[in-house]
Amino acid sequence: MLNTIVTFIIVLGILVFIHELGHFIFAKLAGIRVERFSLGFPPRMFGIKIGDTDYCISWLPLGGYVKMSGMVDESLEGSLKGEPWEFMSKSLPKRFMAIFAGPAFNYILAVLLFGWVTWSDGVRTPFHPFINEVVQGSPAEKAGFLANDAILTIDGHTTETVRQSIDIFSANANKLLQVQILRDEQEITIPVTPELNPDTQTGRIGIGIGQQYTFQSVSFLQSMQYGFAETIYITQLLGEAIGDMFLGEESVKESIAGPIGIAKMVGEAAEAGLNVLLRFMAFLSLQLAILNLLPIPALDGGHIVFILVEGIMKRPPKMKTRMVIQQLGMVFLLCLMVFIIFNDLTR
């Protein structure tokens, strides 16, 4: 339990640090004064002030924030003096980048982590399906198939995936097939006739099939390309999942995990090995990037909406309006957090 908690705090700390570092770097590049760089939410635990910035660790280790001068943010504080170093004194593109950089850094981290794991493990490609179960009394048992036999070809057709094998057996009910297998490093050919499944009108021989894989080493540059492709693919899956939740096609209660659930998964990933943990970190970093870009007040996406509205209206929304919207956003997020933690505990 203690190892799980420590690992979770380290993983979350890294993800939050990278996120806030993105805000910090681009705020500095834009000439915006950063008043505080905090890992964790208030109250402040300890830290050090260097120049205009208070670098600190705070007591609630479930996030972090970068406080920029003259910006209405999750601290619910806002005062505009018109100073040149204030957030609102900068151009829209500079403000946009200072906000967008946080999720962008998490996205880049996901690419790097996925790429690093690919470079370390190699690229996984399907090799041959193998039999992991033979049903008693089935055509496969009568023909002499055994568990752990690797299926090389079926009637001369090379089979590299489970799907290929299933499709061939399914399409050839009551037809004699010559199946070439690898057993104890010896290639054997076994004739078998798939029986007709009356429910699906397809052929079957009565086996369970698993998949064997090979791992091919790739260069560091190639691994980063694979990392980018995997990040794009998972982004699409997460986008579809979020869309399904909003449309009511997926249960929010079953789909969302909070800090307790995530900590449990982090602990399990750590026990499975470093690369499994790094891959899960990449997934969490990607989730953090996408969720922060949702157009919810108090999240980065909410700030971006204010910037876009200002660009369209040619003037910023009133400070009082921004404060009220931010407060409503914070109330919503706090209620959501209570719901998620309660959901974690009940599960």
CA-to-CA distance for 63 and 73, rounded, in angstroms?
14
Dmax (CA) for the chain in angstroms is 86
Is it the case that residue 78 has pLDDT exceeding 60? no
What are φ and ψ of residue 178, in 5° steps? Answer: -100, 115
CA distance 144 to 190: 7
Categorize the per-residue pLDDT at 254 as very low, low, confident or very high, splitting at 50, 70 and 90.
Answer: low
Whether residue 77 is predicted with pLDDT greater than 80 in this model: the reply is no
- Domain definitions of the chain by residue range: 2-121+224-346, 124-216
Q: Are the beta carbons of 198 and 208 closer than 8 angstroms?
A: no
Reported confidence tier of residue 347, pLDDT bands at 50, 70, 90: low
| Res. 247: pLDDT tops 80 | no
Mean pLDDT value across residues 79-106: 90
Tokens 């950063």 — which residue? 34
pLDDT at 279 over 90: yes
pLDDT score recorded for residue 187: 93
Local confidence band at 241 (pLDDT 50, 70, 90 cut-offs)? confident
Residue 346 burial (C-beta neighbours within 10 Å; 0-12, 13-18, 19+): exposed
* pLDDT exceeds 70 at position 305: yes
- Does 34 score more than 90 pLDDT? yes
Averaged pLDDT, 271-289:
93
- Work out the percent of the chain whose per-residue pLDDT is above 70: 95
What digits encode the pLDDT tens for the residues 120-149? 998 888 788 999 999 999 999 999 999 989
Model confidence pLDDT, tens digit, residues 188-240: 999 999 999 888 899 999 999 988 788 888 999 999 999 999 999 999 988 88
Q: Does residue 63 register a pLDDT over 80?
A: yes
The catalytic residues are 20
Tokens of 305: 């909406």
Q: How far is Cα 192 from Cα 145, in angstroms, rounded to an integer?
A: 9
Question: Does residue 76 have a pLDDT over 60?
Answer: no
pLDDT at 75: 52
Q: What is the mean pLDDT of the chain?
A: 88
- The fold of the 124-216 domain, in CATH, is Pdz3 Domain (2.30.42)
Short-list 14, 231, 281, 278, CA closest to 121: 278
